Structure 1
Amino acid sequence: MAKRMKVQERLAGALAKAGLGPLFGVTGDANVYLIDAFVSGHGGRFVAAANEAGAALMALGHASVSGRVGLATVTHGPALTNTLTALAEGVKAGTPMVLLAGDTRHGERENLQNIAQRDLILATGAGFETIHRPETAVDDLARAIRRAGAERRPVAFNMPVDLLSSEVEDDACELRIALSRPEITPSGDDLDNAIGMIAAARRPIILAGRDAIDDAARDALIRLADRIEAPLATTLRAKGLFSGHPYHLGIMGTLSTPQATEALISSDCIIAFGAGLNFHTTAEGSLVEGKRVIQIARQEAGIGRGHTPSVGLVGGIAETAGRMLYWLDEAEIAGSGFRTALPAGSLAQQPGPTRISSPGDLDYVDALTRLDALLPENRMLVTDAGRHMVKAMQYLDVEHPRLYVQTASFGSIGLGMAEAIGAAEAEPDRPVVLTVGDGGFMLGGLTEFNTAVRHGTDLIVLLMNDNCYGAEYAILRDKQMDTALSRFDWPAFAPIAEALGGRGVTIEGPDDFGRAAEAIASRDRPLLIELRLDPAKMPFW
Structure 2
Amino acid sequence: MRAHRRAAAALRELGVDTIFGLMGEGNLRPLIDFDGLGGSVVATTTEGAAVSMADGYARVGRRLGVASVTHGPGATNALTALTEAVRARTPLLLLTGDTPPRDDHLQRFDLRGLADLAGAGYVRVGDAAQVAAEVARAVRRAETECRPVVLDLPVPLQCIDVAEGPPLRPVPPARPAAPGEEELDRSLGILAGARRPVVLAGRGALDAKDEILTLARSLGAPLGTTLLGKGLFAGEPLDLGVIGTLGSVLALETVRSADCLLVLGAGLNRYTSVDGALLQGRAVVQVDRDPSRISSAAEIGMVADVRETVTSMSELLAAAGQEPAAAHRGDLAELLVAEAARPVTSADGPATMDPRTVMRWLDRLLPADRVVVTDTGRFVYAPWRLLSVRSPQDFAHTCNFASIGLGLGTALGAAVGSGRPTVAVVGDGGGVMNLVELATGVRLGLPLLVVVCNDGAYGMEYRHLRNEGDDPTPARCTWPDFAEVARALGARAATVRTVADLDGVAAEIAGLGADGAGPLLLDVRCDPDVDMADLA
**Which TM-score tier does this pair reach, normalised by the shorter chain?**
over 0.9
1:311 aligned residue: 300
Matches within 5 A, 1:123-522: 123-171=117-165, 173-214=166-207, 217-304=208-295, 308-347=297-336, 349-350=339-340, 351-355=342-346, 357=348, 359-428=350-419, 430-443=420-433, 445-520=434-509, 521=511
Match of 2:533, SS? coil
Q: Work out the CA distance in 2 between the residues paired with 1:110 and 1:133.
A: 24
Residue number among 11, 18, 21 corresponding to 1:15 in the alignment: 11
Q: Percent identity?
A: 39
Cα shift readout 1:285-336 (whole Å, capped 9, x = no counterpart): 11111221111012333323xx531111122212111211222233333322
- Bigger drift between 221-230 and 201-210 goes to 201-210
Q: Work out the CA distance in 2 between the residues paired with 1:161 and 1:317.
A: 44
Aligned pair count reads 528
Match of 2:277, SS? coil
Match of 1:296, SS? strand
Cα shift readout 1:434-461 (whole Å, capped 9, x = no counterpart): 1000011012x31211111122211100
Q: Work out the CA distance in 2 between the residues paired with 1:356 and 1:487.
A: 20
Aligned-residue offset at 1:227 = 0.1
Aligned-residue offset at 1:342 = 4.4
**Structure 2 residue 528 is the aligned partner of structure 1 residue 531:** no
Aligned-residue offset at 1:110 = 1.7
Provide closer, same or farther for how the CA distance between residues 523 and 477 of structure 1 changes in structure 2, counting only shifts above 3 A. farther
Q: Work out the CA distance in 2 between the residues paired with 1:272 and 1:243.
A: 18
Provide closer, same or farther for how the CA distance between residues 409 and 236 of structure 1 changes in structure 2, counting only shifts above 3 A. same
Match of 2:505, SS? helix
Provide closer, same or farther for how the CA distance between residues 345 and 425 of structure 1 changes in structure 2, counting only shifts above 3 A. farther
Q: Work out the CA distance in 1 between the residues paired with 2:150 and 2:170.
A: 16
Match of 1:95, SS? coil
> Which residue identity lines up with residue 437 of structure 1 in the other structure?
G
Q: Work out the CA distance in 1 between the residues paired with 2:38 and 2:315.
A: 51
Aligned-residue offset at 1:184 = 3.2
Q: Work out the CA distance in 1 between the residues paired with 2:254 and 2:329.
A: 12
2:45 aligned residue: 50
> Which residue identity lines up with residue 429 of structure 2 in the other structure?
G
> Which residue identity lines up with residue 196 of structure 2 in the other structure?
R
Q: Work out the CA distance in 2 between the residues paired with 1:47 and 1:192.
A: 51
1:90 aligned residue: 85
Indicate if the aligned counterparts of 1:257 and 1:347 stay in contact, CA closer than 8 A.
no
Aligned-residue offset at 1:479 = 1.0
Aligned-residue offset at 1:88 = 1.1
Indicate if the aligned counterparts of 1:54 and 1:418 stay in contact, CA closer than 8 A.
yes
Indicate if the aligned counterparts of 1:146 and 1:179 stay in contact, CA closer than 8 A.
no
Match of 1:490, SS? coil
Aligned-residue offset at 1:279 = 1.2
Name the TM-score, length of structure 2 as normaliser: 0.95
Unaligned runs of 5+ in 2: none
Aligned-residue offset at 1:401 = 1.2
Q: Work out the CA distance in 1 between the residues paired with 2:347 and 2:400.
A: 32
Cα shift readout 1:28-85 (whole Å, capped 9, x = no counterpart): 011111111111x212100011111100111110100111110011110111111111
Cα shift readout 1:177-206 (whole Å, capped 9, x = no counterpart): 423322332133222221111122111111
Match of 1:112, SS? coil
**Cα RMSD after superposing both structures:** 1.6
Q: Work out the CA distance in 2 between the residues paired with 1:88 and 1:511.
A: 41
Cα shift readout 1:383-432 (whole Å, capped 9, x = no counterpart): 1101111111110011211111111111111111111111111111x111
Residue number among 66, 72, 96 corresponding to 1:77 in the alignment: 72
Q: Work out the CA distance in 2 between the residues paired with 1:206 and 1:468.
A: 40
Indicate if the aligned counterparts of 2:455 and 2:528 stay in contact, CA closer than 8 A.
yes
Q: Work out the CA distance in 1 between the residues paired with 2:130 and 2:327.
A: 59
Q: Work out the CA distance in 1 between the residues paired with 2:117 and 2:446.
A: 33
Aligned-residue offset at 1:378 = 1.6
Match of 1:341, SS? coil
Indicate if the aligned counterparts of 2:54 and 2:67 stay in contact, CA closer than 8 A.
yes
Q: Work out the CA distance in 2 between the residues paired with 1:328 and 1:145.
A: 41
Indicate if the aligned counterparts of 2:15 and 2:170 stay in contact, CA closer than 8 A.
no
Matches within 5 A, 1:21-60: 21-39=17-35, 41-60=36-55
- Bigger drift between 187-196 and 28-37 goes to 187-196
Provide closer, same or farther for how the CA distance between residues 263 and 452 of structure 1 changes in structure 2, counting only shifts above 3 A. same
Match of 2:187, SS? helix
Cα shift readout 1:450-479 (whole Å, capped 9, x = no counterpart): 111122211100110000111111110011
Q: Work out the CA distance in 2 between the residues paired with 1:539 and 1:360.
A: 17
Q: Work out the CA distance in 1 between the residues paired with 2:204 and 2:140.
A: 18
Aligned-residue offset at 1:355 = 4.1
Indicate if the aligned counterparts of 1:141 and 1:175 stay in contact, CA closer than 8 A.
no
Q: Work out the CA distance in 2 between the residues paired with 1:96 and 1:346.
A: 40
